[in-house]
Amino acid sequence: MEYHVLFFVAAVAAGLINSLAGGGGLITFPLLTLVVPPVVADATSAFALLPAYPSAVWRTRGKLREVPRFWLWLLLVPSILGGLVGGLLLVWTGDRNFLFLVPWLVFAGTVLFVLEPRLSRRSGSRANRSLATALWPVAGLVVFVVGIYGGYFGAGIGILMISALSLLRMGDVHQVVPFKNLLTGCLRGVAVVVLVIYGEINWGYGVPMAVGGLIGGYLGGTLTGKINPSVLRAVVMTIGFGLAAYYFWTLYGPSKLPFGGE
């Protein structure tokens, strides 16, 4: 019972963090590895945090209406396909194949997010939107690759998606975060379906954690529209660099991996 209460509270916090930026799996995944094998921990964590996305999207649906329908469908389809491919790769390849990419991807994504205002000081300008439209095949490919990673493991997927959408000139951070929640929720949802079919989820821990994730996502969606854009950017950057540092430490520091490995 103590574990269930602890995991429920952790899922609330993780759902809130995921709806704001990403990195909530940093809380739930290591905790679950204490009681279940790594792939089951990853699958259960993905299931537990999935309800956070639709609840956050619902709270920020007004911002999503500002996203052009062309971009909505253009990026939604490759994100779903990427999540499907990533979920299948996870159940086919085993526990250890994805670990060493995690800190590098999260760190690179956060750096790109930091640099994005300098790369485009007028992200909503007509010129930048024209450039993004001209590069729509690249945009679809980038989101597809991010979707594969999100379905495969997902640590820092929110940071990577925010970075990709920001570089593609999808608007300011208040528009990017709700769009990120929609795309990430869809691709993770497809991956979770794959994991359910393959029987990788621990339902005893996953169901109460999913309730916690739902609550956390709703709270995060409420906060997203009220936080100053500069503060929200600072939250995203702090979580991104903190997440990268954590995984660099677990992989290259003196401590053992929290992934069930050595």
Q: What is the SS3 assignment for 132?
A: helix
Q: Where are the domains of the chain?
A: 2-252
What radius of gyration, in Å, describes the C-alpha atoms of the chain?
17
**pLDDT above 50 (res 124):** no
CA distance 95 to 93: 7
Task: State the angle between helix axes of 229-252 and 173-197 in degrees (0 to 180), rounded to the nearest 10.
Answer: 40
More confident residue, 124 or 72: 72
Structure confidence at residue 127 (pLDDT): 46
| Alpha-helical regions (H) of 120-202 | 126-134, 136-152, 157-167, 173-197
Q: What is the pLDDT of residues 28-48, one digit of tens each?
A: 887 888 888 877 887 898 899
Contacts of 249-257 spanning 24+ positions with Cβ under 8 A: 251/99, 251/100, 251/102, 251/103, 257/99
Residues for the chain: how many in total? 262
Q: What is the pLDDT of residues 127-166, one digit of tens each?
A: 455 445 556 777 788 889 989 988 887 767 887 888 888 7
pTM for the predicted model, two decimal places: 0.78
Q: What are the Cα distances from residue 211, in Å, to 31, 111, 143, 159, 216?
A: 17, 33, 28, 23, 9
CB atoms within 10 A of CB 44: 28
Give the list of residues 6+ apart from residue 48 with CB closer than 8 angstroms, or none: 7, 11, 14, 28, 205, 206, 209, 210, 212, 213
